[in-house]
Structure 1
């Protein structure tokens, strides 16, 4: 805020200058006190709130835009305190729908772009977030990975330090707890650099309990978005952590965690967030307004639910001097609702401007054109054949004992040891035993590095399913009942410069091209929604039982979720923090 803007706010508050916008005579939800203040008005000058009170005659002039809020509720704009925007869509496509419902601030992870496009990719993506009608912040990616090859390419301490100097970077992104309690020196150096910058470290505690959770908290993390029960939430709240309840595209935990409302606790450190949202969800259901609506429907007091999506989030990210509530000097990020049990925005104001009215956008998001190099992360030029997915075994024993990924739920895996026959020196798929091939192929280097193993639990009877969106590294991950189809699928992903492909009998059944780092598409979001529906339909037709098949596929490489994963170097045993091979 400059001197002229500061003077203008004070003059409006003193009645010496007129407001640009007045929201008149509504029921104001004061998130600071928990009160609902009847017959209150809000005066806006420029981007900020200048005055709040009952009698707005001194701040209203003939040129003031007045919105009559009689019988309506005035609440702060919603904040998503943890999400992943770099999934499928570009920012402008997402914002076309996300902004309508009242979300005025987003904090996103940047890890997805950092793996394929590195430090320059992060800077480029941050450029795409500038000059948007709402505020979007990022967090510096720690780039925790199972792959030694990927780790060698990760951004360094100096680059983390440069990112942390930026106003649009609020801290260090989610850092998996195992890396911290194992005292990974690189990660701990990132922590120290974040402390020096006076910024926040976002946590990730999936599977951590007792002393491990306490040790992780001792490392200085400020939050966790992984609890799945009210008991998990309580354990973390007692350690002083902010807890973000996920209700989005990856997990939906709000219903189970809502039991915490009955425990008579102070919920000032409880937050609503999405942890990513699918294109279909944002187009067909909405964004943070849908999450707040569900919290209200589950029995949270509406004022408490609003606090969990506004002030609590702002405090967590040290932004409460700017956003999170309706008070003088704060940014004018405001929603007008018909009532507190119907979270449907009649007006959305962002940075003092009317952004949408009755669900119709009045301000369009800024489009961004990524440079040509951002569309060329698939550097592997090999043309794959079925022989590349054969598993040749030099062993005198038959059968042999092997490690297999067993898919327990749509996200959780475990290591299973099986005895399998060796046929003509090869280990083959066994569809009757639900045993199919899985491979991870590094796409960022033209020197081939890949690993082929077996997986069970996907119930595929034919075809192959491949994606460049494998979490936390630079791999195309492919599963298949047929090696020829696996080759077709991987070749098509490479040809598209990234994407998701379903094929069978040598024919492409469905695909989504994502040429920006292998994670984002140039398509309009409506087409992305349809393509993903086609992919799910065709994946189900191969036999895959999971409701979000691409998510189950893409998470097979991440250390964020237990317990047994894959990368281009082999299987990764998360329990023992080590790479292991196929043969036992």
Structure 2
């Protein structure tokens, strides 16, 4: 259902409330208002709200109140705009109803999410189903259309027709993160997508990890207007100087805020700096909340509170061109407000969204809508056969006793590189070697009926036994499975089909732990507490098999990513991010 969000039809009512002709529906009285436009705090003011909108701001005026007017006495507390998370990935672990209850409690009233995860496994229908799950909710959720840069040719790229349909939606603000390497490696396919979005007045989000100087300047010239990849102050400054909005991540995948926080001591304008989560895990969400945690950390690190609050309100809204609607407290804007005890303390006593009180003292008091996903979205694991251990054999060329093999070497939880290892051939096969920390890793196409499978080798994981598999593989429509035993790899893949998607850990022919994610194979239908419990159980079970990384699920899911260097994979083979080429396993 397409919603018109970019104008209000209540102008006359708002004018009448401001003029004292009509009565307000809701009044926030006895408050101190942070004006993010002027950096002032206005003492002893009231905010008058009609329907979803702010009608006026003034000192208390009884003529704007009626018998039916709801009054929230702020008791001298500070009112700031509702928080806006300008870059996140909501097609991740949890469903809309469960996630929003936590986001609302902390004061987030608007989010902008990527949609590439849904497109790679569900196509246009899957993206729309996902988008609709976050519409008609107590808060606003906007989207960006996926570019789809992938190691797999089957999921690389979005059709112009699909992109057009998404960009025409009012709840789609532009084109999602465009990996900078792709603009150089595939300009003939990427640049037209960017041009189309820009021609429709939409923005193009950037992703420039590793780019600098001339390459970064060239990338900015392609039309991107933001980047969420800086991990140092110098990288953030370089992007700010090029006119980009710099999004600083502090969430479930990256925590870069402290490293970049030194920028507060430089004499530079921070109006193009934004704080984002870039997604959160269930455990992170339960422990910390969402954007309120990031904002509080920025203040604790020494950022001026007004600057920090702007980074999650006005700055974000201006970047996306919707500051006429959200991001500040002024007439004609949505009535999205957080009432906090002090400018330094981001623990909302009240949260108001669209003119309704939705949270009180850290608790969501309105139930988010439960979305009914399509049958297709709930049946996305398209495996046409039962996998067996022989499906993960690596056959060597005939007549060879030893051969050089490309091995993916883990150098951190997320980053990999190519390692060439000379390996013995045993009865025509290349085997893993647990003692040398070399195990098998495979990608299985779960979308197309061919169920194409590629098996390679990976080192630096530490796994001694069993297997772990996930259907939530970044940038592809694959099940990614890694293991020391082919039998357990097969069991894990088959179990993912049984539970209609998720993460599975196996050893000794038994399932040790699993997290079902039947919604597109990437989101759980369980409660947040149960999702967090199962996530922890899966990670602990994987660590028990020897995996050395703190978050084995994330480490495995990113093995198909076209965004994180350097050597990744898909069902088609190994993928070199440096040149965008698919590589074979053997060097002959």
Q: TM-score, normalised by structure 2?
A: 0.97
CA 1:268–1:4: 2 relative to 1, 3 Å: closer
Greater displacement, 359-368 / 83-92? 359-368
Partner residue in 1 for 2:110: 105
Matched, 1:449 2:452: yes
Deviation per CA, 1:483-522, whole angstroms, max 9, x where unpaired? 1111111111122221100010011000011122111122
Contact 1:24 1:56 in 2 (8 A): no
Partner residue in 2 for 1:133: 138
Q: CA deviation at 1:181?
A: 2.0
Matched, 1:358 2:361: yes
Partner residue in 1 for 2:348: 345
Deviation per CA, 1:351-406, whole angstroms, max 9, x where unpaired? 01111111222221011111212122211221111111111112544331110000
Question: Quick one: distance in 2 between partners of 1:88 and 1:2?
Answer: 33
Matched, 1:54 2:59: yes
CA 1:2–1:190: 2 relative to 1, 3 Å: closer
Question: Quick one: distance in 1 between partners of 2:548 and 2:149?
Answer: 30
SS class of match (1:560): coil
Return the match for 1:573 from 558, 572, 576. 576
Partner residue in 2 for 1:11: 16
Contact 2:185 2:580 in 1 (8 A): no
Partner residue in 1 for 2:545: 542
SS class of match (2:409): strand
Partner residue in 2 for 1:526: 529
Deviation per CA, 1:36-73, whole angstroms, max 9, x where unpaired? 11112111111111111223333233332222223311
Greater displacement, 187-196 / 56-65? 56-65
Matched, 1:83 2:88: yes
Partner residue in 1 for 2:563: 560
Deviation per CA, 1:11-46, whole angstroms, max 9, x where unpaired? 111122221111112111111111111112111111
Partner residue in 2 for 1:458: 461
Return the match for 1:222 from 222, 225, 229. 225
SS class of match (2:29): strand
Matched, 1:145 2:150: yes
CA 1:113–1:3: 2 relative to 1, 3 Å: closer
SS class of match (2:64): coil
CA 1:130–1:477: 2 relative to 1, 3 Å: same
Question: Quick one: distance in 2 between partners of 1:497 and 1:337?
Answer: 43
1:288-307, aligned counterparts within 5 Å? 288-307=291-310
Question: Quick one: distance in 2 between partners of 1:414 and 1:113?
Answer: 28
Partner residue in 2 for 1:158: 161
Deviation per CA, 1:94-143, whole angstroms, max 9, x where unpaired? 01111111100011111111111101111222221221000011111111
SS class of match (1:365): coil
Return the match for 2:45 from 31, 40, 47. 40
Contact 2:160 2:193 in 1 (8 A): yes
SS class of match (2:377): helix
SS class of match (2:206): strand
Matched, 1:260 2:292: no
Question: Quick one: distance in 1 between partners of 2:304 and 2:534?
Answer: 39
Return the match for 2:193 from 183, 190, 195. 190
Contact 2:467 2:485 in 1 (8 A): yes
CA 1:439–1:2: 2 relative to 1, 3 Å: closer
Contact 1:119 1:155 in 2 (8 A): no
Matched, 1:286 2:289: yes
Q: CA RMSD in A?
A: 1.3
SS class of match (1:460): coil
In the alignment of these two chains, the number of paired residues is: 582
Q: Which consecutive segments of 4 or more residues in structure 1 shift more than 3 A?
A: 1-4, 395-398
1:55-70, aligned counterparts within 5 Å? 55-70=60-75
SS class of match (1:106): strand
Question: Quick one: distance in 1 between partners of 2:323 and 2:442?
Answer: 46
Question: Quick one: distance in 1 between partners of 2:383 and 2:450?
Answer: 7
Deviation per CA, 1:194-228, whole angstroms, max 9, x where unpaired? 01210000111111111111111000001000000
Q: CA deviation at 1:2?
A: 8.0
- Gap regions ≥5 residues in structure 1: none
